[in-house]
């Protein structure tokens, strides 16, 4: 009996030790990412001749009118995004105010976790807070992700054609490349259930080959993938794809319009009026910065990498000179982060509060 107790105690100690090692590893990784980001930022400021006083002046002279317009449009875009989630989730969807909180809470985790892995909170919130099965969270997230990519490409093509495609950092056939990628994404979306079925067949073959088909967790994964596939079929059968596409286009336009006014709020001090900022060039520059956040090279909260990905398109497209571009990218990023974090955390606290009335659905669906 004592031997069993000792053995159990040793197992507990080993688990704790492994957990502590993982925690230390995670903290070390985040510290490295943050340090690397700051180093990149320092190098950018050195190259563009930005001084500390320039940063102070930049934040001290924010143009409040443009800032408030940006925040208002951004809030509207979150509301429209909540409508999209309501369409994708279906008849049993939470009320729009709850989805608004959900969208903001999700946004703060997307911004603060590298490579947009915070988007996985989408599944957690729908499951734990609103009692939807995991497959509903997974299927709605996958479908929305495809529409996000499909809708941004027409805007990029239009911008490139109107701005002119002879841009130094882009390949000659960029429009053709973007068109081909868009067509591939549309084909994949329309055949998503067939592709998942093929994936499931391959998954079952692999687990059988390795001899782990009888494991509980293996069966659970296969079951959830199958249910996710059925959920995607159900979403498509409701005929919401056209509406989701149009709503996603509206979300994109609102999002980048908010970015336009936010950028103006930080450069107005340097004498730039609205007429001096080409919307399409700003759109291409902000798209570059947003895309950088999806890459594995994205540092902690994007410090450094985001600024570089934003500043250099602004310089190459001749929107600003080097110094103003670096200052604008940094100020834009900091304000955007603060705005998202403050509102996102507020919504997250409300949603995670045990007394929050919106955590229950009419149908308390089990996992």
pLDDT tens figures, 32-90:
777 888 888 889 899 999 999 999 999 999 999 999 999 999 999 999 999 999 999 98
Q: Over pLDDT 70: what percentage of the chain?
A: 82
Q: Answer whether residue 230 shows pLDDT above 50.
A: yes
Q: What is the mean pLDDT of the segment spanning 219-238?
A: 89
pLDDT at 166: 57
Of the candidates 303, 286, 338, 263, the residue with the CA atom closest to the CA atom of residue 43: 303
Contact 140, 85 (CB under 8 A): yes
Report how far residue 154's alpha carbon sits from residue 283's, in angstroms, rounded to the nearest whole number: 12
pLDDT for 100 = 93
Q: What is the mean pLDDT of the chain?
A: 83
Closest alpha carbon to 218 in 233, 200, 234: 200
Residues spanned by the domain of 217: 48-359
**3-state DSSP assignment of residue 318:** coil
Q: Determine phi and psi for 150, rounding to 5 degrees.
A: -65, -40
Per-residue model confidence (pLDDT) at position 301: 72
Query: Which two three-digit tokens encode residue 300?
Result: 């902690």
Give the pLDDT confidence score for residue 360 in this predicted structure: 46
In a domain, 3, yes or no: no
Q: Is the pLDDT of residue 231 over 50?
A: yes
Query: Is residue 41, in this structure, part of any structural domain at all?
Result: no
Confidence (pLDDT) at 182: 85
Q: Is residue 12 part of a domain?
A: no
Average pLDDT rounded to a whole number, residues 106-134: 81
pLDDT of residue 359: 44
Task: Please state, in angstroms and rounded to a whole number, the distance separating the CA atoms of residues 199 and 193.
Answer: 10
pLDDT band at 280 (very low <50, low <70, confident <90, very high): confident
Report residue 366: phi and psi, to 5°.
Answer: -90, 160
Neighbour tally for 346: CB within 10 Å:
14
CA–CA dist 111, 96 (Å, integer): 22
Spatial distance between the Cα atoms of 269 and 85, rounded to a whole number of angstroms: 39
Residue 4 inside a domain? The answer is no
Q: What percent of the chain has pLDDT over 90?
A: 38
Q: Is residue 283 part of a domain?
A: yes
Band (pLDDT 50/70/90 cuts) for residue 204 is confident
The total number of structural domains in the chain stands at 1
Residues 6+ apart with CB under 8 A from 361: 92, 94, 130, 131, 132
Binned at pLDDT 50, 70 and 90, residue 366 comes out as very low
Q: What is the pLDDT of residue 367?
A: 40
pLDDT surpassing 80 at residue 257: yes
Query: In the structure, what pLDDT confidence band is assigned to residue 365 with cuts at 50, 70 and 90?
Result: very low
With respect to residue 21, please indicate whether it lies within any of the assigned structural domains: no
On whether residue 11 sits in a domain, the answer given is: no
The better pLDDT of the pair 353, 108 is held by 108
- pLDDT at residue number 309: 87
Check residue 361 and give its pLDDT: 45
323 pLDDT higher than 70: yes
Q: Which of residues 320 and 215 earns the better pLDDT score?
A: 320
Region 139-157: what's the mean pLDDT? 86
- Let me know if residue 32 belongs to a domain: no
The arithmetic mean of pLDDT across residues 210-233, rounded, is 83
Q: Is the pLDDT of residue 17 over 60?
A: no
CA distances from 193 to 140, 142, 237 (A): 13, 11, 12
Among residues 264, 279, 273, 77, the alpha carbon closest in space to that of 159 is found at 279
């Amino acid at each position: 009996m004592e031997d069993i107790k000792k053995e159990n105690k040793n197992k507990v100690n080993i688990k704790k030790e492994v957990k502590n090692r993982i925690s230390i590893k995670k903290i070390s990784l985040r510290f490295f990412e943050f340090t690397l980001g700051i180093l990149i930022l320092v190098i950018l400021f050195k190259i563009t001749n930005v001084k500390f006083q320039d940063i102070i002046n930049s934040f001290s002279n924010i143009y409040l009118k443009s800032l408030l317009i940006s925040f208002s449009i951004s809030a509207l875009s979150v509301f429209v995004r909540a409508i999209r989630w309501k369409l994708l989730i279906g008849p049993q969807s939470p009320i729009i105010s709850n989805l608004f909180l959900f969208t903001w809470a999700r946004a703060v985790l997307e911004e603060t976790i590298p490579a947009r892995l915070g988007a996985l909170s989408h599944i957690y919130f729908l499951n734990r807070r609103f009692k939807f099965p995991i497959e509903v969270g997974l299927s709605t997230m996958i479908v929305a992700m495809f529409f996000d990519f499909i809708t941004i490409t027409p805007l990029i093509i239009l911008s490139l054609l109107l701005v002119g495609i002879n841009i130094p950092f882009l390949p000659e056939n960029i429009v053709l490349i973007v068109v081909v990628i868009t067509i591939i994404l549309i084909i994949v979306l329309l055949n998503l259930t067939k592709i998942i079925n093929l994936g499931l067949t391959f998954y079952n073959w692999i687990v059988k080959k390795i001899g782990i088909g009888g494991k509980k967790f293996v069966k659970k994964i296969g079951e959830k993938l199958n249910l996710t596939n059925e959920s995607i079929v159900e979403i498509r059968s409701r005929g919401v794809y056209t509406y989701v596409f149009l709503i996603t286009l509206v979300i994109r336009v609102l999002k980048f319009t908010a970015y336009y006014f936010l950028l103006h709020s930080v450069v107005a001090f340097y004498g730039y009026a609205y007429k001096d900022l080409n919307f399409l060039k700003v759109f291409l520059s902000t798209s570059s910065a947003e895309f950088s956040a999806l890459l594995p090279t994205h540092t902690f909260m994007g410090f450094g990498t985001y600024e570089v990905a934003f500043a250099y398109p602004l310089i190459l497209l001749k929107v600003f000179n080097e110094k103003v571009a670096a200052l604008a990218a940094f100020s834009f990023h900091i304000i955007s982060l603060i705005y998202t974090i403050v509102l996102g955390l507020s919504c997250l606290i409300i949603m995670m509060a045990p007394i929050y009335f919106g955590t229950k659905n009419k149908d308390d669906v089990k996992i």
